[in-house]
Amino acid sequence: MKRAISILALAVGLATPALSDTMATGDLGLIIERAKGSVILVDQSDRAALARIEGLGDLSHASVVYSSDERYAYVFGRDGGLTKVDIVTRTIANRVIQAGNSIGGAISDDGELVAVSNYEPGGVKVFDAVTLELVADIPTGSKTIGLVDAPGRKFVFTMWDTGETWIADMNGAEPAITKIPDMGKNPYDALITANGRTYITGLFGEDGLTALDLWDETPEPIRVLPNYGRGQEDMPVYKMPHLEGWAHTGADFVLPAVGHHEVLWIDATTLEETGRTQTHGQPVFAMARPDGRQVWVNFAHPLNDTIQVIDTVSKEIIHEFKPGPAVLHMEFTPRGHEIWVSVRDEGKVKIYDTQTFELLREIEADSPSGIFFTARAHRTGL
């Protein structure tokens, strides 16, 4: 007991500088500086950059998940690096190179496991969230995409090459894998709804999407909008779209069409098409504001200087503007009153009011890409 107390005393002693200047993390976030291998710690309510943390490797296509206490950020880098950033001390707490080439990650609902999906070698690796020690290695023999966390200490992910989706149940000593074949040709990304029920993967190799009802005992592929581009010429795709947990607008899902200048609306219950909205270019992200009233869309190269805002009731575009060259990502504040937009080639992140569309603040950043607020910690699939 005495020993425990002395350890506690030591911990408190070390933490004293932080305690004297208490660091609340609930409105913080990280901006990826993709070329520099650094992240900027930002305060969302103050619209301010607080610090730059360096040494995270190749961060092209990097993404972030947060520990459930919103203290630690797990940054998944393209070079296979998994970096645990302590946003209270503003330092790198731990870093491992876990593969040659990775694409994304997820954290389990209990916060204990961090999973990373890899292109090379293809598969998923699962790490202890505290120590970053390897817990499980799940080779898939394919580039692995669309990795999400699902309720019940599970991860779900999909194979670009083989068109299978696997559900990994992490409750036992070894992962228990359920394989679902025939999801479609070349799935490129996937999302899970915030309630953890519906998993949707978008297809590159054919028109359409494929859904799974994860509440089903034995989920079967459900074809969604097969042949949605019928009669239209496919255009070259210069940037793969992304599917994110922000697709749910309430009544509908809104999803980017691959190789077409439109977003697709699907009834969230029946998965039947409810409409299409013609857009400025090929959508990359179609993200619903957290209240579901608006959808903000950015576009692929070479039309990537523009954002369009769609009203989800009328499904019509209500606002269009040009934040600047190479708009890569957008992140809403947790209740959606503001949005942060990364403008890579201008070296800025721009903050807008989502009601008035007024530009509120600009933050300097080096080739900014992803923006991730800590409130994601409490959402399934983000």
Max CA distance (Å), the chain: 76
Backbone angles phi, psi at 129, to 5 degrees: -70, -25
Give me the least distance between CB of 82 and other proteins, in Å please: 17
Nearer to other proteins, 198 or 367 (CB): 367
From the centroid of its chain, how far is CA 31?
Answer: 13
Cα(95)–Cα(132) distance, integer angstroms: 8
**Preceding amide of 302 cis, omega within 30:** yes
In the sheet with 81-86, reading across from the earlier edge strand, the strands are 63-66, 72-76, 81-86, 91-97
Cα(73)–Cα(267) distance, integer angstroms: 34
Residues that bind other proteins (CB under 8 A): 34-35, 58-61, 78-79, 101, 103, 119-120, 143, 160, 186, 188, 204, 236-240, 301-303, 325-326, 344-345, 367
Give me the least distance between CB of 271 and other proteins, in Å please: 26
Q: Which residue, among 313, 325, 311, has the nearest Cα to 357 in the 3D structure?
A: 311
Nearer to other proteins, 165 or 367 (CB): 367
Nearer to other proteins, 175 or 187 (CB): 187
Nearer to other proteins, 204 or 332 (CB): 204
Cα(122)–Cα(288) distance, integer angstroms: 31
Nearer to other proteins, 55 or 325 (CB): 325
Nearer to other proteins, 44 or 201 (CB): 201
The residues pairing with 350 across neighbouring beta strands, listed in sequence order, are: 341, 362
Nearer to other proteins, 238 or 357 (CB): 238
Give me the least distance between CB of 78 and other proteins, in Å please: 5
Q: Which residues are CB-contacts of 316 (< 8 A; sequence separation ≥ 6)?
A: 277, 310
Give me the least distance between CB of 37 and other proteins, in Å please: 10
Q: Which residue, among 237, 248, 245, 158, has the nearest Cα to 201 in the 3D structure?
A: 158
Q: What DSSP state is assigned to residue 257?
A: P
Give me the least distance between CB of 117 and other proteins, in Å please: 12
Whether residue 259 contacts residue 234, with contact meaning beta carbons closer than 8 Å, is answered with: yes
Look at residue 360 and give its three-state secondary structure: strand
Give me the least distance between CB of 261 and other proteins, in Å please: 13
| Neighbour count for residue 275 (Cβ, 10 Å) | 15
Whether residue 379 contacts residue 109, with contact meaning beta carbons closer than 8 Å, is answered with: no
Give me the least distance between CB of 257 and other proteins, in Å please: 16
Give me the least distance between CB of 54 and other proteins, in Å please: 16
Give me the least distance between CB of 365 and other proteins, in Å please: 15
Nearer to other proteins, 34 or 71 (CB): 34
Whether residue 320 contacts residue 280, with contact meaning beta carbons closer than 8 Å, is answered with: yes
Nearer to other proteins, 222 or 237 (CB): 237
The residues pairing with 309 across neighbouring beta strands, listed in sequence order, are: 296, 319
